[in-house]
């Protein structure tokens, strides 16, 4: 049974989605202090939040059970993403649910700003009839600049085209063809866009790159009398610089739904008569609240019950079908990582190279590489390592992980080969899948073999001479150690040369028995490797 904690107000429709799953227990607790949230997270597999709950590094530290955070909304600035990633927690948001409502609010704010709706309405309430005072500006024929052409930015562009505005946009990723289809004149440099605008609206996430992207320098490059709209995130537009530009007459007005501090602690900007402000209402419609709640509930239940990853902001998306398809490859790569981590030459790890060949090369190799890296690191680190944080854990320790792929099929329909660079050498191991589920170790260094890649493995290098296997078999028999499978590999397949043997054991030999094997004059190295049993669940994937 998975427990989902809900600490903010969530639409009943979203709660109903969670409650319909027999495998999910819903724990709704609003108004918790940070200390109470931290304590509640200890018994939660996932949490759904909106904007009220702040998930800081202190709250997320050492939350061993917590696997997923879902933000019912687009912005995730109330979640410390680096901290969540380091703790191996998947973070998702709901980008589709409030698209229409936020786009409509943006256009409503732009229209109200242009036609002085708010001050005129306030004058009417006060008993004044000030027609001449509130003469406005029409939107038709004006140029609207859109910074950020994601879902909401494109939705705003569609509505602006309907108002007969000229739409120009900045986005570093949207294709020129897609922009043209939406009636947008695309610019790759924001400084090329800003001088063209009568109106400018921002629709980017708040990041280090976008914080203050509309500042004094760029405001000064705009047409005198430009109007600024921000219904995205406070801080994208520098509030002090905007207030200065309005007071100087460079900017005619601004419509703001979001602020750096909410509610604003410095009210200089909102008190300017040229500013129309609302208290973060972009997604505050009945429809949007229900949609984001339902989407959040579907995301978290899909993740917990079906291993589905959608709209993750710190991990590549993976459908339930794709996850089921690559699960065996995730298992194989993790076991290769675990195996190499226990190699006698594994000390002083510097880098790792993973090569994919054949069928596996067409799969999500980035995720498979993350699985290998988690296996490589998990035995050496006290911290929880999984496919979410493996890459950053390796990078923090100066370990470079690289991958290459080839669709060419060699001796096996699929091959995953990994080589680690250490202070002592370059150990290599390769594995494949027989059938749909049988994992095999087919290469160790220069040796080709066919060993079971599971359970307890005794790996020893030796000279290929008669009597050695008999010696080990007799020794194990004397000490009650059962050999379940054995595989041998010879260098160049030549008798009498160097060789390697992998013995899969049902029970462990004592250190004294291992020492006796190591002391044999024909044995050059011995390693006792512990891997999960055949068919064992992946600890960070099969959570049921």
H or E stretch including 287? helix 286-306
Nearest CA-CA partner of 388 in 376, 370, 366: 370
Number of CB atoms found within 10 A of residue 456's CB: 18
Q: What are phi and psi of 122, to 5 degrees?
A: -65, -35
Q: What is the token pair recorded at 331?
A: 């298992």
Number of CB atoms found within 10 A of residue 15's CB: 18
- H helices of 307-434, in order, are 320-341, 365-378, 390-396
SS3 423: coil
Active site annotation includes 262: yes
Residues forming a β-bridge with 256: 230, 277
Which of the following is catalytic: 262, 287, 383, 423?
262
Provide CB contacts within 8 A for 351, sequence distance 6+: 399, 400, 401, 402, 420, 421
Specify the residue for token string 């973060």: 280
- What is the torsional sign of CA 241, 247, 251, 255? positive
d(CA 538, CA 327) in angstroms, rounded, equals 9
Q: What is the token pair recorded at 56?
A: 């800081």
- What is the torsional sign of CA 410, 418, 482, 527? positive
SS3 528: strand
Nearest CA-CA partner of 67 in 46, 41, 97, 93: 46
- What is the torsional sign of CA 453, 456, 460, 464? negative
Active site annotation includes 311: no
Residues forming a β-bridge with 170: 147, 187
Active site annotation includes 181: no
Residues forming a β-bridge with 433: 439
Q: What is the token pair recorded at 500?
A: 């390697």
SS3 312: strand
Omega of the bond leading into 263 within 30 degrees of 0 (cis): yes
The number of angstroms, rounded, from the C-alpha of 404 to the middle of its chain's C-alpha atoms is 22
Q: What is the token pair recorded at 203?
A: 């629709």
Provide CB contacts within 8 A for 138, sequence distance 6+: 114
d(CA 279, CA 261) in angstroms, rounded, equals 11
Specify the residue for token string 């509610």: 263
- Which residues participate in catalysis according to the annotation? 233, 262, 280
């Amino acid at each position: 049974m998975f427990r989902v904690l809900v600490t903010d107000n969530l639409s009943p429709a979203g709660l109903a989605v969670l409650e319909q799953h027999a495998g999910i227990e819903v724990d709704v607790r609003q108004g918790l202090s940070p200390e109470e949230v931290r304590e509640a997270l200890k018994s939660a597999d996932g949490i759904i939040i909106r904007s009220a709950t702040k998930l800081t590094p202190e709250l997320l530290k050492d939350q061993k059970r917590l696997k997923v955070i879902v933000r019912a909304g687009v912005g995730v600035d109330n979640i410390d993403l680096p901290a969540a990633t380091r703790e191996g927690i998947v973070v998702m948001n709901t980008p589709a649910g409030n698209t229409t409502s936020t786009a409509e609010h943006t256009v409503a704010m732009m229209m109200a700003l242009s036609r002085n709706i708010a001050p005129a309405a306030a004058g009417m309430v006060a008993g004044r009839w000030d027609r001449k005072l509130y003469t406005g500006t029409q939107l038709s024929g004006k140029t609207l600049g859109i910074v950020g052409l994601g879902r909401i930015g494109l939705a705003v562009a569609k509505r602006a085209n309907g108002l007969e505005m000229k739409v120009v946009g900045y986005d570093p990723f949207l294709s020129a063809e897609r922009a043209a289809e939406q009636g947008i004149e695309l610019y790759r440099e924001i400084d090329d866009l800003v001088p063209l605008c009568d109106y400018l609206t921002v629709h980017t996430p708040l990041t280090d790159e976008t914080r203050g992207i509309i500042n004094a320098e760029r405001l000064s490059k705009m047409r005198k009398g430009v109007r600024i709209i921000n219904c995205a995130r406070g801080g994208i537009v520098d509030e002090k610089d905007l207030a200065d530009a309005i007071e100087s007459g460079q900017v005619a007005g601004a419509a703001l739904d979001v602020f750096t501090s909410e509610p604003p602690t410095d009210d200089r900007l909102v008190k300017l008569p040229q500013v129309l402000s609302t208290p973060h209402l972009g997604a505050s419609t009945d429809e949007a609240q229900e949609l984001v709640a339902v989407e959040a509930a579907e995301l978290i239940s899909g993740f917990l019950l079906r291993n589905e990853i959608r709209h993750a902001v710190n991990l590549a998306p993976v459908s339930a079908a794709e996850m089921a398809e690559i699960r065996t490859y995730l298992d194989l790569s993790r076991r290769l990582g675990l195996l190499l981590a226990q190699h006698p030459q594994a000390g002083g790890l510097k880098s790792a190279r993973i090569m994919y060949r054949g069928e596996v090369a067409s799969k999500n190799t980035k995720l498979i590489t993350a699985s290998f890296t988690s296996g490589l690191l998990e035995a050496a680190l006290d911290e929880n390592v999984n496919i979410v944080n493996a890459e950053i854990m390796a990078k923090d320790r100066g370990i470079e992980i690289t991958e290459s792929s080839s669709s060419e099929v060699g001796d096996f329909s699929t091959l995953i080969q990994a080589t680690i660079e250490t202070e002592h050498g370059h150990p290599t191991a390769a594995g494949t899948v027989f059938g749909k589920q049988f994992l095999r170790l087919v290469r160790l260094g220069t040796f080709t073999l066919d060993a079971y890649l599971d359970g307890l493995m005794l790996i020893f290098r030796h000279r290929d001479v008669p009597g050695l296997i008999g010696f080990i078999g007799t020794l194990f028999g004397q000490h009650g150690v059962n050999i379940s499978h054995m595989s041998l590999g010879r260098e160049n397949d030549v008798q009498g040369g160097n060789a390697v043997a992998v013995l899969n054991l049902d029970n462990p030999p004592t250190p004294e028995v291992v020492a006796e094997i190591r002391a044999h004059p024909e044995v050059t190295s011995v390693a006792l490797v512990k891997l999960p049993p055949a068919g064992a669940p992946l600890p960070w994937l099969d959570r049921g």
